[in-house]
Structure 1
Amino acid sequence: MRYLHIHNARLIDPAQQLDQVADIYVAEGRIKAIGHKPASGEIEHSVDGSGQWLVPGLVDLGGHLAEPGFAHKGSIASETRAACASGFTHVCSLPDTKPVADSGAVVQLILEKAAKAGYAKVLPLGALTQGLAGEQLAAMFSLHEAGCVALSNARAPFKDSYVLRRVMEYAATYDIPVFLNPDDAALSAAGCMHEGPVATRMGLTGIPRTAETIALAQMLLLIEQTGVRAHISQISCGRSLDMLRQARAGGLKITADTPLANLVYTDEAVAGYNSQFNVRPPLRAEADRQALLAAVNAGELAISSNHRPHEVAAKKSTFSDAEPGMSIYDAFLPLALQLVERGELQLNALITAASQLPAAVTGLSQSLQEGQWFNAALINPASERTFRRSQLLSKGRNTPIAGQTLKGAVSAVFVDGRKVFG
């Protein structure tokens, strides 16, 4: 047997209560030994991990990969490669492609292109309704059979609560997980940022917290009624966390995530009408950011990327007219480590929220444990990089970190034992 040998790395895996400098041996895609050399076999490739961290690969619960249909914004190859740059080994692709991922043929195309690219694995999210129109149910069972790990309507609204109930009932019948984005379209449609003093001062129409909480209340009641396996995507405010805690206390087994941008930035970032901060859900107030950070540190909330690449022209108009979204894969890890360095986010909590919690939601097992598939990232926490738009791996140029120098870089990413990056 021939081994990949990573030596002197700091192995960090909160799920295994593992935090030690040790050697790891990988063969046939799986971890064969940790801390000791296997009795037989030879080392085929050796990697010096001195001063670096080896962590379970990150899993993204929602990224827009732009393909099929939006080649000017990105491709599955470019965006999964950019995801690897931040340590992602698996990415859930949102269904708002063109054509929409509401058929087995589109799902198969996505899987084939991801396999051909050979970077992070893509876990397709199929559409809950035909064309994401929110009216007619998509072929949900067929999409699940085609390889979708869950179904979602992205941020597209449902026509009414009856359609939402039917979607949940059908999914519950076949035990298909659903990802739900709480957003009352009637309350949020005209807005472009968080409704508060900053929006008032800037003369911009705001999106109130109630656009999220009213929709979430409706979803929680229907989840309770139907028994569907549900994940709440892209929570942005503290009141939503209170509602989730109450639902869990009542017996609902429900998971949720928040976008990294909502942990890093607030609505104050919009000052100067910087359209890079026009995102959905909107960046909320500091109190909301602190509440979200506390929930992540407590292990209650996963972190997603909410990655959405755009070409330069998409952000060149006025703030309110710019296309919402932020290209964040290139900078996800250093931005998250910035929170760790400031003491706002615990390192173990970050790994749990970006790897183990989303892995559990998608049915994966991401851990540094003998016998497990080797899905991992080798990270140099001291490495510094100045981000320039021309050097981004993502085709999206809509990033707020252009020109900034941040610490933390991925040296290598392994998917099922195969080195795919670095």
Structure 2
Amino acid sequence: MTRKYFGTDGIRGEVGKGVITPDFVLRLGWAAGKVLAERAEGDSKLILIGKDTRISGYMFESALQAGLINAGVDVGLLGPMPTPAIAYLTRTFQAQAGIVISASHNAYQDNGIKFFSGTGTKLPDDIELAIEEQLDKPMETAAQLGKALRINDAAGRYIEYCKGTMPWGFSLKGLKLVLDCANGATYHVAPDVFRELGASIDVIGAEPDGLNINEQCGSTKPGRLQSRVLETEADLGIGFDGDGDRLVFVDHKGELVDGDEILYLIAADRQRFGSGCDGVVGTLMSNFGFELGLERLGIPFERAKVGDRYVIEKMKQNNWLLGGENSGHIVCGDVSTTGDGIIAALQVLLALSRSEQSLHETKQGMRKLPQTMINVRINGKVDLNHSELDDAVSKAESDLDGKGRVLLRPSGTEPLIRVMVEGEDLPLVNQLAQDLAAVVEKLFASA
């Protein structure tokens, strides 16, 4: 069956356009409830709903709730909560599923729906396909309607869970932090986690109004965080995205620390001070310097396609516990089933504590290589298997002499080919990227 709605990260779009409408979300709730109720074991038919802080979340929460209740399913309303918190609470309450209403790092005009299974992982493909099939059927009311309840202690439960991932006696006392909550789902959770662990915190981006989520703040727009760290002479800063599954760090000099560096710090700490690191999964976009840094530590590394779904799949295949993306989506599989910004931040702070060094000092163990990316706009889908392009790539790789890499990747959302070159020599990297982009444009721009 062809997928109509579910993408690699749920269902997303601009509110009111495409599939993201109240009518569709109502039907989606009913279809999901119908499918999951039929597969429920015993009498428990509970599905949790959480959301970020964008204004459309209220509308879609009501629509989902109505659809699920109409299908005979009980609903637990969590309110604004980070996406990974919903995965955790779904397991804790032994619910059939958890539903997140969020468009992550996107602007408030967008929204989306993401499902977690009862184990806090992605819904199995067969259930997604069954829900899509149910969506095409007439909506009918169950003989026994479901009920709704609000779970008032959801935030407190998640805060305690986050703190509980740290070793007994771990303390952040004496550490001065700036937190940027992106006016998103971490605004009422992250400050309490770090404050209760003893840190002195300065919080920005924690005044959501439904329209300002990710607006010039958070992990995708860290300029304000960098300035605040310097102004307050903080030890470091942590920026989350709108739904709390990504993060970036800022060191005391105002320098940005991205997902590759964060993942390196965690892996290096486990290799040196923990029980070892069996391996790390990155993506096609992970910096080559990250790969070389892990190689020096004797840590195996593999690349997955871009997207947390593919990272987690490869982690499971290899039975590895660490993976992530340079965007700051970090998965620590021993403590969480999905990417979790707060959990990843705590893992980095644990690493800094054990190394007895500043973030700026510790990150020097890895040197990112210069990277140039050029987006070439194309007309429709193209086949990159072309002899002239193959020859151009081979020449570029030869010029890099094993000290860099070339990547040509179609965008998953736009009519673009992303041309990326990494290497030690920045002028050479720039030139090779321009040469390859010219070949791609010549071959495919008018295809």
Report which of the two structures shows the higher radius of gyration computed on alpha carbons: 2
Bigger relative CO (Cα 8 Å, ≥ 6 apart): 1
Superposition TM-score tier, normalisation by shorter sequence: under 0.3
**Higher strand proportion, which one?**
1
Q: Normalising by the residue count of structure 2, what TM-score does the alignment of the two structures yield?
A: 0.26
